[in-house]
Amino acid sequence: MIFRQLFETETATYSYLLGCERTRRACLIDPVASELPLYLELLQSLDLKLVYTLETHVHADHITGSGLLREKVGSKSVVHRDAGAMCADLLVTDGVPLQVGDLQLEVRHTPGHTNGCVSYVMADRVFTGDALLIGGSGRTDFQQGDAGQLYDSITGKLFTLPPDTLVYPGHDYQGNTVSTIKQEMAKNPRLGGGKSRDEFIAIMSELKLAYPKFIDQALPANQACGSLS
């Protein structure tokens, strides 16, 4: 597998390029519109054809690059049916398999940060978007957030994966790049050590986070797959 972890500094967003070495077909998880030149250069240099852009949810902190990539290279955008982005080419649900050449991914619906959050599961790794972060989790105080639902998603859909499964999140603000399910179950300050659902809800209610900086621009744009036109 061809794998690249890409980082957009302004919003600390991770995007992931996955490519099949045999067929040269590829997908890009959570592309950022401002990074389009980088993506196009990477695809060309690696001789890859982008077939899917996979959104983990409708983002509130950056504008997706899925619409621009669809225009440029003909890729199909993939979003959960509850995300509120009916412009997507594929509206997926829990358990849907996605095939990219020889690569196989499974959609797991992991709501709680937003209604339409999903994680993408492979044999040895999971891309968790804003549901499970390294040493944290997505916030639950806006955009259909529900702390109890997020706890259920993480413990029921992610912590049930094999312990050595690699965790690749949608963001990191501390310079971390990868974790494991075992590490998050043991050490995540919000969820680790067997914290109860009520304990998690209490922790989330006390965060007092600032209003998202780009939400007023990003949400309407992402509900239109990255375009306001």
pLDDT digits (tens, 9 = 90+) for 122-142: 999 999 999 999 999 998 987
What's the rounded Cα separation, in Å, for the pair 163 and 183? 8
pLDDT, position 84: 73
pLDDT, position 83: 76
Does residue 57 carry a pLDDT above 80? no
pLDDT digits (tens, 9 = 90+) for 1-26: 999 999 999 889 999 999 999 999 99
Q: pTM, whole model, 2 decimals?
A: 0.91
Does residue 45 carry a pLDDT above 80? yes
Average pLDDT over residues 97-118: 95
Confidence of residue 106 (pLDDT cuts 50, 70, 90): very high
Does residue 213 carry a pLDDT above 70? no
Kindly report the average pLDDT of the chain as a whole number: 90
Confidence of residue 117 (pLDDT cuts 50, 70, 90): very high
What's the rounded Cα separation, in Å, for the pair 135 and 56? 19
Please count the other Cβ atoms lying within 10 Å of the Cβ belonging to residue 12. Answer: 15
pLDDT, position 61: 65
pLDDT, position 229: 40
Cβ-contact 14, 170 below 8 angstroms = yes
Q: Which residues contact 229 (CB under 8 A, 6 or more apart)?
A: none
Give the pairing of strands 132-133 and 103-109.
Answer: unpaired
Average pLDDT over residues 49-62: 84
Percent helix, percent strand, percent coil in the chain, to nearest 5: 25, 30, 45
Does residue 222 carry a pLDDT above 60? no
Query: Is 53 strand, coil or helix?
Result: strand
Where does residue 150 rank: exposed (0-12), middle (13-18), buried (19+ CB within 10 A)? Answer: buried
pLDDT, position 228: 45
pLDDT, position 126: 98
19 closest CA partner among 2, 7, 32:
2
pLDDT digits (tens, 9 = 90+) for 139-194: 898 778 899 999 999 999 999 999 999 999 999 999 999 999 999 999 999 999 99
